Amino acid sequence: MLRVEYAYWLIAAFLLYTAWRNLRERQHARAAFWLLLGLLVAGGDAVLAREKVGDPLPAQLAGGAVIALAVLAPSLKRRAHPETASAEQRLASAVRLGHRLFVPALLIPLVTMLVALFGAHLSIGGHPLFATSQMTLTGLALACVIALFAAARIARAPLRQGLFEGRRLLDAIGWAALLPLLLAALGQVFTQSGVGTAIASIANTMLPEGNALLCLLVFALGMVLFTMIMGNAFAAFPVMMAGIGLPLLVQRYGAHPAILGSMGMLCGYCGTLLTPMAADYNLVPAALLELRNPYGVIRAQAWSAAWIFIATFVAMWALVFR
């Protein structure tokens, strides 16, 4: 049975390979960085399993490794990585291979989609082929492996060329790859240390009395701001709902709960488009697309976010107090 854990092992193997290549090129800080990250991914299951039975030591070690990663990160200068094939070589290859080049690239979304849609029905000899949890992610990992084989076959290149090129891209992304995980961890620490309740209580003291529209505006802007701080609308939603949405808007002013919840969440999504804290959507793509400005993607979507927020707020105002 294919489980998402196998995908983690693949990630860990790729990270360790990257570490090994860097070590051979005497890039010691880089090698140590990817080695630590690879070990964290590989040991993740064990850490969580020990934590569940009440042994905090592996989790503490993982925490120490995270701090070590933070110490190493500033020494990883972004490397303008040299291309392995010249522009002429790539163009000649493009002319020779033509549309066949699209096949592996399109296999990634296609296989992922097929697994997501039909994976639950596939079985071999009565055993289900895919574990039900995180099936889409398992599908994406499988799709990546299939696409790598297909790409090697179509380009008539050895598989290790793929690893080599992948490692080059990973080094170009560098420490930005780490941010989504770190920010998720930061969100947890913020929640546990009461940052959310502190912000909600500040928002409550600023709340205007007796004006439903202003109250709705504070709720919507609060969703945006709080999402920007936490990097995630899911973390902001329960706090804002418990502080303002439920007691005031729903219970006092009679707001429609489904509309308030749905559109309030979408206001938070507008905040996600605006914040570097949502690194996996905003900073990692900027690194992946080799933009010189790390906030380039945020800048490109800021006005869209503002207009979508306005449209959502107006719709919410018109509908929620029916």
Residues within window 158-197 making contact with another protein, judged by CB under 8 A: 161-170, 175-190, 192-195, 197
Judged by phi (left if over 0) then psi (alpha if -120 to 50, else beta), residue 31 lies in: alpha
- Binding segment for another protein among 22-30, 119-127, 207-215, 300-308 (CB under 8 A)? 300-308
Burial annotation 228-263 (CB, 10 A radius, 16+ → b, else e): bbbbbbebbbebbbebbbbebbbeebebbeebbbeb
Cβ(77)–Cβ(92) under 8 Å? no
Q: Which of residues 255-274 bind another protein (CB under 8 A)?
A: 257-259, 261-263, 265-266, 269, 272-273
Q: Which of residues 19-78 bind another protein (CB under 8 A)?
A: 37, 40-41, 43-44, 47-48, 51, 56, 58-67, 69-71, 73-74
C-beta of 142 vs 218, nearer to another protein = 142
Q: Is 237 in the site for another protein (CB under 8 A)?
A: yes
Q: Which of residues 90-109 bind another protein (CB under 8 A)?
A: 90-95, 97-99, 101-102, 104-105, 108-109
C-beta of 206 vs 258, nearer to another protein = 258
Question: 127-128 and 123-124: which strand pairing?
Answer: antiparallel
Query: For another protein, which residue of 20, 128, 131, 238 counts as binding (CB under 8 A)?
Result: 238
Smallest gap from residue 125 Cβ to another protein (A): 28
C-beta of 75 vs 211, nearer to another protein = 75
C-beta of 129 vs 152, nearer to another protein = 152
Of the candidates 274, 287, 13, the one whose C-alpha atom is nearest the C-alpha of residue 175 is: 287
- In terms of C-beta distances under 8 Å and separation of at least 24 residues, what long-range contacts does 289-297 make, across chains too? 290/172, 294/176
Give me the residues paired with residue 127 across strands: 124
Q: Which of residues 197-226 bind another protein (CB under 8 A)?
A: 197-199, 201-202
Please give the angle made by the CA atoms of 146, 21 and 149, to the nearest 5 degrees: 10
C-beta of 2 vs 265, nearer to another protein = 265
Of the candidates 216, 242, 243, the one whose C-alpha atom is nearest the C-alpha of residue 314 is: 216
Helix (H) or strand (E) holding 124: strand 123-124
